[in-house]
Amino acid sequence: MIPKHDFKKAVRAAINNPYLQQAMETCTVRRTDRVINSLAELKDLKQTRQTAQKIKQYTIDHLDEQLALLSDKLESLGVTVHWAKDARQAREIIIDIAHQHDCRHCVKTKSMTTEEIELTPALNEAGIETIETDLGEYILQLDNDRPSHIITPMIHKSRQEVGQLFQDKLHADYTEEPEELTAIARHHLREKFQQADLGIVGVNFAVAQTGSLVVVENEGNGRMVTARPGVLVGVMGMEKVVPSAKDLAVMLKLYIRSAVGLRLTSYTNIITGPRKSGEIDGPEHLHLVILDNNRSEILAGPYRNLLHCLRCGACLNACPVYRKISGHAYGTVYPGPIGAAITPLLESSNRLSEKLPEFCSLCGACLERCPVMIDLPGLLIQHKRDLIKKNRSSLFYKLVLSVWTWFYSSPARYRFSQKWARHLMRLIARNGWVTFLPPPGSHWTAVRDVPLPKKQLFRDLWKKTNGNP
């Protein structure tokens, strides 16, 4: 979360940006259609989703056991396992690994977990040149920008902007042809891959039984990062463990289809231990950093099902609010419905993150799309309840509630309040809408317009027609 993020300003900027509006509509609708079609190919979709949900449920219910199993297996394969309590510790561990192996040049794959711990700037500050190698992330890094989607990080950027950026930063001839832009990036990245002595990957799944780390990607950059540098560091949230290879197969089937609408990504890298004698590629030293960062607290509380999340991004594409305002308006690493639900828990000390659940319109589209059927709307309502409980002690809240209760606890007072509210609304309405209310109602109308109520009340109609309107 950006410390001084202004939600209203960011939302207005997004809504008033015609390019963004068109790009969001096209990309999210197209992606959702592709996801729906590719999932429809599964004859046993309902059952597969239920199985995936059970696997996650089992794993999260036995997380300590599964993580211990994974750690033992990894160590038996020669992998060094590190446990990071929070983002700062994770950064320190990774910088230490780089220093121990005397690494100076790092290439990394796209990873939301490394975004969560703000790893890339920390490595660069520590003197380890770190380059994002996913095309979208590379462009964002060149432009000092942040991802606005979990899976499609530069959904908000036009190819004209990218052409201009490559001209300014890479001194390339201006072009806006996607193939030519990709070729320019590939040329520059190739050099970085050759120089790299450290690779960093975000781990999508880790198999406890076999100690395999799975990195899913479409561009081949993950294959280069896992094959070329002598030192490789995997980073994962502690919920990314799956018990067995059989469970992995179920998860991959749903994850890839839900994320990109494909049966399989172009590259599914499965790394089981460091390079063995006789093998021609792979890291000589393999480390895994397992991140907690408040996940233990989430595990112990009413929001534990959020740890079932695969980070597929399907709920973002389905969400009507995300489709309108895009990821930057949230001001968080994880935007959209999953971001609104999990950020207040990952960043519990940040008061701003409490507001995120209010972004939800409770339409339920995310629940329908989520491959592991996380009840995001239910959890967002729970957040809203928690916030109300927390604010109940404030004097203002108590005053508003007492006045409200006084009016609503008597039919006569209720009718009186309705009558005057309607009069007031008519006085200030413009074209049938109330767009401004005096304080404290101004908090409401700053972000919502209220339609004028009908002239005739249902109650009067009922009375007039004897209950048969």
Query: Using the rule CB under 6 A, which residue among 155, 224, 338, 356 binds ligand SF4?
Result: 338
Query: Using the rule CB under 6 A, which residue among 235, 271, 312, 352 binds ligand SF4?
Result: 312
State the first-to-last Cα distance of the chain, in angstroms, to the nearest integer: 52
Of 37 and 182, which CB lies nearer to ligand SF4 in the complex structure?
37
Judged by CB under 6 A, does residue 309 bind ligand SF4?
Answer: yes
Judged by CB under 6 A, does residue 314 bind ligand SF4?
Answer: yes
3-state helix, strand, coil in the chain (%, to 5): 55, 10, 35
The bridge status of strand 231-237 relative to strand 198-202 is: parallel
Q: How near is the Cβ of 296 to ligand SF4 at its closest, in Å? A: 19
Of 258 and 269, which CB lies nearer to ligand SF4 in the complex structure?
258
- Torsion angle of the four alpha carbons 200, 201, 202, 203, in this order, in degrees rounded to the nearest 10: -130
Specify the stretch interacting with ligand SF4 by CB under 6 A; choose among 9-17, 110-118, 291-299, 370-378. Answer: 370-378
Judged by CB under 6 A, does residue 319 bind ligand SF4?
Answer: no
Structure tokens belonging to residue 334? 């994880």
DSSP, res 430: B
Rounded to the nearest angstrom, the gap between the alpha carbon of residue 135 and the centroid of all alpha carbons in its chain is: 19
Query: Using the rule CB under 6 A, which residue among 35, 60, 154, 372 binds ligand SF4?
Result: 372
Angle between helices 178-195 and 135-142 (to 10 degrees): 80
x/- track of binding to ligand SF4 for residues 257-296 (CB under 6 A): -x--------------------------------------
Q: How near is the Cβ of 258 to ligand SF4 at its closest, in Å? A: 6
Q: Are 237 and 333 in contact (CB under 8 A)?
A: no
Report the candidate in 222, 233, 223, 217 with the shortest Cα–Cα distance to residue 274.
233
Structure tokens belonging to residue 271? 């790394």
Query: Using the rule CB under 6 A, which residue among 253, 257, 369, 383 binds ligand SF4?
Result: 369
Cβ partners under 8 Å of residue 355, min gap 6 = 7
Judged by CB under 6 A, does residue 315 bind ligand SF4?
Answer: yes
The bridge status of strand 212-217 relative to strand 267-271 is: antiparallel
Q: How near is the Cβ of 153 to ligand SF4 at its closest, in Å? A: 14
Number of residues that bind ligand SF4 (CB under 6 A): 15
Query: Using the rule CB under 6 A, which residue among 206, 250, 307, 310 binds ligand SF4?
Result: 310
Q: Is 305 left (phi over 0), alpha (psi -120 to 50) or beta?
A: alpha
Q: Reduce the DSSP state of residue 297 to 3 states and report it.
A: helix
Structure tokens belonging to residue 11? 């939302």
Of 131 and 309, which CB lies nearer to ligand SF4 in the complex structure?
309
Judged by CB under 6 A, does residue 55 bind ligand SF4?
Answer: no
Judged by CB under 6 A, does residue 60 bind ligand SF4?
Answer: no
Sheet holding 267-271, edge to edge: 241-242, 205-207, 212-217, 267-271
Of 93 and 310, which CB lies nearer to ligand SF4 in the complex structure?
310
Judged by CB under 6 A, does residue 154 bind ligand SF4?
Answer: no
Q: How near is the Cβ of 339 to ligand SF4 at its closest, in Å? A: 9
Query: Using the rule CB under 6 A, which residue among 24, 106, 291, 374 binds ligand SF4?
Result: 374
Q: How near is the Cβ of 51 to ligand SF4 at its closest, in Å? A: 15
CA–CA gap between residue 73 and residue 356 (Å, rounded) = 39
The contact set with ligand SF4 (CB under 6 A) reads: 258, 309-315, 338, 369-372, 374, 376
